[in-house]
Structure 1
Amino acid sequence: MKHYAVWFLFASVSLLPAVAMARPAPAPAPTAATAAAPTLLPLTESDSTFAENVSALNTFEMTISKMATTQAKRPKVQEFAEKSLKMHTANQKTLSAMTLKHGLELHKDMSSDEAEVADDLKTQNGTKFDRTYLDLQAQAASDALAMFQNEAESASDPDLKAYASATADTLQAHLNEAMKLGASKPTR
């Protein structure tokens, strides 16, 4: 019997390192990726599509406005471009923070059509640049206004709904300002 007790004691002691190694590892410290884990339910497909479209439009608007801050001929157009750049940058940050709470990280790319239009704008200068830039701003604001008004009425997420409603008013003012500076009336 003593022989079994010694063997049991030996086997128990020899397994201690294996048991210690089998313990679960301590939880890792939160990283930026885990700290930004979604805190709300995912957005509906419609709300996600709206957010992605707005993100692409913001990127386009920031790109052409950045160009216009240096390439526009008229100082008033340059001032308008600076305001537009600030507005769309702030809009993108707000939207990104809002959607990240739902686990949606927005892409920061323009559509291929928007990239082509931005590339074409780069080749223009003088009054032609000013006119094209203002026309693009008016058309983009008009298109965005329709999207934001629709989202303000139909969004499932209350924060996104409030954001869309508040931003629609800003877009209307932006459209009016582009028109006062000489933009052509946007087509619908």
Structure 2
Amino acid sequence: MKQYAVWFLCASVSLLPVAAMARPAPAPAAATAAEPTLPPLTESDSTFAENVSALNTFEMTIAKMATTQAKRPKLQEFAEKSLKMHTTNQTTLAAMTLKHGLELHKDMSPDEEQVANDLKTQNGGKFDRTYLDLEAQAASDALAMFQNEAESASDPELKAYASSTADTLQAHLKEAMKLGANKPSR
């Protein structure tokens, strides 16, 4: 019996390198999409996530511009905070939706692209005013979307995310108004 156990141990150890070579190498993490672990989002929740993703991309684009183009240092600081907030928001949302099998696009709408391109051409005080007004309007529009989603989301995690982000957006809007943004239209 002892001899059989020794033989089995030697045979199994000697086959380890062969077994390791027979297995395919795992694909790099970035190349494979994670399998959804939760059921798909409802159409309403998916639409909300896609719209927020586009808005985050727009907000990050104009905030990057403002970190260097804004004339007022306080506005540059505001833009840096906005950039961090929307980057974190985008990362959180993307991770959350991926669990449901939804990979978010990262493109702005054509209208947002046009607005961002127009902002690029401005400088000085005009840039500052336009940027602040854009921030206030975007925060106001987003706030309405997030409050609606916090009330009506089907997914509990998305509902909690919308609720907590609505509070952040409210503070962001107040800060933009304090810096001199015009009252957003609704």
Same-fold call, TM cutoff 0.5: yes
- 1:141 match: secondary structure: helix
Tell me the alpha carbon deviations over residues 22-52 of structure 1, each in whole angstroms, 9 at most, x when there is no partner.
xxx9787465354611000000000000000
Structure 1 CA distance for aligned equivalents of residues 108 and 26 of structure 2: 35
Structure 2 CA distance for aligned equivalents of residues 28 and 37 of structure 1: 19
1:106 to 94, 104, 107: 104
1:50 to 29, 36, 48: 48
Tell me the alpha carbon deviations over residues 58-102 of structure 1, each in whole angstroms, 9 at most, x when there is no partner.
000000000000000000000000000000000000000000000
Report the equivalent of 1:65: 63
Report the equivalent of 1:75: 73
1:129 to 127, 144, 150: 127
Report the equivalent of 2:6: none
Q: Which runs of 5+ in 1 are unaligned?
A: 1-24
Tell me the alpha carbon deviations over residues 139-183 of structure 1, each in whole angstroms, 9 at most, x when there is no partner.
000000000000000000000000000000000000000000000
Structure-2 change in CA distance of 1:172 and 1:35 (3 Å)? same
RMSD across aligned positions (CA) = 1.5
- 2:138 match: secondary structure: helix
Structure 2 CA distance for aligned equivalents of residues 62 and 79 of structure 1: 14
Structure-2-length-normalised TM-score: 0.85
| Runs of 4 or more consecutive aligned structure 1 residues displaced over 6 Å after TM superposition | 25-28
Matched ranges for 1:119-158 at <5 A? 119-158=117-156
Provide the identity percentage: 85
The alignment status of 1:116 with 2:134, answered yes or no, reads no
Q: Which runs of 5+ in 2 are unaligned?
A: 1-21
Structure-1-length-normalised TM-score: 0.84
**Paired residues, number:** 164
Report the equivalent of 2:173: 175
The alignment status of 1:38 with 2:36, answered yes or no, reads yes
